[in-house]
């Protein structure tokens, strides 16, 4: 049913920080997959929407914060593939460019308190009793089918020794690592949340093996920024023409530059960083 619009290119990063200590870095431009079904969100929805279709579900119901890339992706993909969409949004009613996009694509938004949001399944079951053919998609699209979608990120990537991506729920990393294993590519993740070490087990459960996640590069926690991160984003954009977002991909690339500077990678490593998209989030930072 769904098809990837095209397979995004792999580009060399021509910056001194990423060509130091004997390593070279490339970037997989999954941000170019689609402007609004961005990057890993398309990968994660791929088999989920297929499953919904096969089960004759016509109404996708999911969850997210007020700046959720996942909800925008779901709203847009729903519109493309003829699903109704409903998004439960955490917190009091607000307006922003991301939620406006959700609405433009026809998503029905329901704002719920942080307390109620904790029991997503309860919210879903109550909703499902009043609507027909609904289909539950977890926050951020996480889960096994989403992991499967992410195993394809490396389909056309050969000759790399390492790959790296940003970690929110870790679903993308689990799939990336599964795709990397048969190619003998080492996959690692940069966690963008603070104090989330417990997620390592969930990621291992999704992948079927342990994966290294770096937990010391969150810049203060989820969606937190500092001047170093914002300056890095600007530096990277100005010298490569590639935009990063402050929540995920800029933290990942900044962490990668620090790992390289600290001689973390063996000489001759050829590293593929995954640009997981999410650029809408960047529109609210500067
Ligand atoms: C959602 C998102 C992530 C996190 O993906 P997980 O599978 O939840 O770890 C990473 N990067 C971007 C740009 C995202 O929008």
Name the residue ranges covered by the structural domains of the chain.
10-39+144-285, 40-141
Query: Is 90 in contact with 66 (CB distance < 8 Å)?
Result: yes
The rounded Å distance from CA 177 to ligand 1 centre is 15
Query: Is 39 in contact with 273 (CB distance < 8 Å)?
Result: no
Q: Which atom of ligand 1 lies nearest, measured to the CA of 69?
A: 15
State whether the Cα torsion 161-217-13-3 is positive or negative: positive
Where helices occur in the chain by DSSP H, the ranges are 40-54, 69-80, 97-104, 114-117, 120-130, 144-150, 171-180, 199-207, 227-240, 249-261
Percent of the chain having pLDDT more than 90? 92
Neighbours of 268 (CB within 10 A): 9
Question: What are the two backbone dihedrals, phi and then psi, of residue 56, each rounded to the nearest 5 degrees?
Answer: 55, 30
Query: Is 214 in contact with 189 (CB distance < 8 Å)?
Result: yes
Model pLDDT, residue 83? 98
* pLDDT tens digits for range 161-197: 999 999 999 999 999 999 999 999 999 999 999 999 9
The rounded Å distance from CA 168 to ligand 1 centre is 5
Model pLDDT, residue 179? 98
- Token digits of residue 130: 């009043």
The rounded Å distance from CA 60 to ligand 1 centre is 20
Query: Is 62 in contact with 74 (CB distance < 8 Å)?
Result: yes
Residues of the chain with pLDDT under 70: 1-2, 284-286
Q: Which atom of ligand 1 lies nearest, measured to the CA of 171?
A: 7
User: Terminus-to-terminus CA distance in the chain, angstroms?
Assistant: 38
Strand partners, 112: 90
Alpha carbon distances (Å) from 147 to 120, 198, 233, 240: 20, 18, 28, 30
Radius of gyration of the CA atoms of the chain, in A:
18
Model pLDDT, residue 284? 65
Whole-angstrom distance, CA of residue 198 vs CA of residue 219 = 18
CATH code assigned to 40-141: 3.40.50.1100
Query: Is 78 in contact with 156 (CB distance < 8 Å)?
Result: no
Q: Which of 32, 39, 177 to mutate to test the pocket of ligand 1 (most atoms within 8 A of CB)?
A: 39
From the number of C-beta atoms within 10 Å of its C-beta (0-12, 13-18, 19+), residue 244 rates as: buried
The rounded Å distance from CA 183 to ligand 1 centre is 23
The rounded Å distance from CA 173 to ligand 1 centre is 9
The rounded Å distance from CA 74 to ligand 1 centre is 14
**CA nearest ligand 1 atom 3, residue:** 168
State whether the Cα torsion 225-228-231-232 is positive or negative: negative
Whole-angstrom distance, CA of residue 55 vs CA of residue 127 = 18
The rounded Å distance from CA 193 to ligand 1 centre is 11
Q: Which atom of ligand 1 lies nearest, measured to the CA of 175?
A: 7
Whole-prediction pTM: 0.96
Model pLDDT, residue 285? 61
Question: What residues are in contact with ligand 1 under a 6 Å CB criterion?
Answer: 39-41, 69, 140, 142, 166-173, 245, 248-249, 276-278
Fold of 10-39+144-285: Rossmann fold (3.40.50)
**CA nearest ligand 1 atom 13, residue:** 278
What DSSP state is assigned to residue 112? Answer: E
Whole-angstrom distance, CA of residue 220 vs CA of residue 169 = 17
Q: 10-39+144-285 and 40-141 share one CATH topology?
A: yes
């Amino acid at each position: 049913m769904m098809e990837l619009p095209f397979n995004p290119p792999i580009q060399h990063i021509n910056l001194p920080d990423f060509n130091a200590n004997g390593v070279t870095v490339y970037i997989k431009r999954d941000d170019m997959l689609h402007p609004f079904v961005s990057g890993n969100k398309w990968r994660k929805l791929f088999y989920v929407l297929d499953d919904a279709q096969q089960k004759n579900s016509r109404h996708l119901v999911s969850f997210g914060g007020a700046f959720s890339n996942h909800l925008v992706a779901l709203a847009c993909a729903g519109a493309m593939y003829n699903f109704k969409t409903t998004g439960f949004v955490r917190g009091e009613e607000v307006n922003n460019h991301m939620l406006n996009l959700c609405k433009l694509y026809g998503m029905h938004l329901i704002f719920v308190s942080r307390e109620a949001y904790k029991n997503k399944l309860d919210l879903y079951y109550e909703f499902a009793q009043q609507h027909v053919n609904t289909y539950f998609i977890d926050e951020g699209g996480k889960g096994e089918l989403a992991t499967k979608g992410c195993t394809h990120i490396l389909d056309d990537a050969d000759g790399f020794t390492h790959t790296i991506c940003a970690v929110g729920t870790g679903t993308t990393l689990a799939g990336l690592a599964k795709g990397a294993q048969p190619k003998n590519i080492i996959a690692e993740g940069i966690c963008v949340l603070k104090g989330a070490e417990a997620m390592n087990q969930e990621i291992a459960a999704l992948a079927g093996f342990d994966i290294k996640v770096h937990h010391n590069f969150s810049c203060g926690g989820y969606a937190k920024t500092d001047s170093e991160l914002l300056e890095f984003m600007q530096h990277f954009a100005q010298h490569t023409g590639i935009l990063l977002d402050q929540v995920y991909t800029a933290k990942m690339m900044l962490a990668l530059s620090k790992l390289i500077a600290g001689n973390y990678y063996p000489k001759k490593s050829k590293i593929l960083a995954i640009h997981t998209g999410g650029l809408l989030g960047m529109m609210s930072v500067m």
